[in-house]
Amino acid sequence: MTSSFSTLISSSSPSSPSSPADRLGFGAMQLPGRWGGPVVERATAVAVARRAVELGARHIDTAAFYFSATERANDILREALHPYPEHLTIATKIGPLRTATGEMYAEARPEQLRGLVEENLRQLGVDVLDLVHLRVGRLKAVGGVPIGERFGALAALRDEGLVRELGVSNVSAEQLAEARAIAPVAAVQNRFGVLDQADGALVDACAAAGIAYLPFFALGGGHTGLESENLRTVAERHGATAHQIALAWGLARSPAIIQIPGTSSLAHIEENMAAARIALGEDDMALLEQPVASAG
């Protein structure tokens, strides 16, 4: 794990487009299982992480606050992949503070960020983190909340050599601009997907600036079953699943997008990674970019 995240960013820029396969990564959130949900066996989780890399994932998204009653995502990744392949980048997130039972209860103060970075370093077994996102808020970007002091504290840790690249997550355009005035921003991780395209202007702005954009909830999030007639139509055209089309749409939507779908299933990791081979046409894209009707 010695390659810089900027390698993926440069290969994702409009002037130097990468192949879709280069921009299809893996999200580790589901590896440890969820509080109150089914237990994920450690051997299965380890196998899923390894298979993601075998199938071509060059980027993994994780966080120390991805944990369940029995497992932590970072521990699973370390067992599965350490020593990490040189071509692999691992991004973490810091910002939310969680209780012992997993509830997010507050955002870390600037002076607490060092401890969170060091926690990720210990769990992953590395001396420097490839990319660290400063996570703001919960599931929706909340504008008007200054992030400069916290981002400045994170930038200081980069200057010390603990972090290679800096990112922000769950931010508005104004918050991104505030962060960029302090230090270079390599990546943005916000909510965005075929069924929730509200952040499209920021996606385009990131592409123009050479900033990678990593959507979370690219597979629908709260949209149970990816309910969209247009999505089902395109999936049928390509003999694919709706999840695969959702991933392929993001890869086609912008060269800045790096998809990070998560799963704890070996079958689903095969399905997700196969999405890079789906080539959507102009008619497909036009259909998928039509507004999704609200239920009820």
Active centre residues (catalytic): 66
Residue 292 phi, psi dihedral angles, 5° rounding: -90, 125
Q: Which residues pair with 187 in a beta bridge?
A: 167, 212
Q: Which two tokens stand for residue 209?
A: 């600036």
Q: Is there a cis peptide before residue 215, judged by omega within 30 degrees of 0? A: no
Residues shown for the chain: 296
Contact (Cβ atoms closer than 8 angstroms) between residue 176 and residue 125: no
End-to-end CA distance of the chain: 48
Residue 156 burial (CB count, 10 A): 16
Alpha helices in the chain (DSSP H): 6-11, 42-54, 73-81, 113-124, 148-159, 173-180, 200-209, 229-238, 242-253, 266-274, 282-288
The secondary structure element, H or E, covering residue 97 is strand 96-98
Of the candidates 169, 171, 224, 219, the residue with the CA atom closest to the CA atom of residue 194: 219
Phi-psi region of 251 (alpha: psi -120 to 50; beta: other; left: phi over 0): alpha
| DSSP conformational letter for 107 | E
DSSP state of 247: H
* Alpha carbon separation from 233 to 138, 246, 282, 285 (Å, rounded): 32, 12, 14, 12
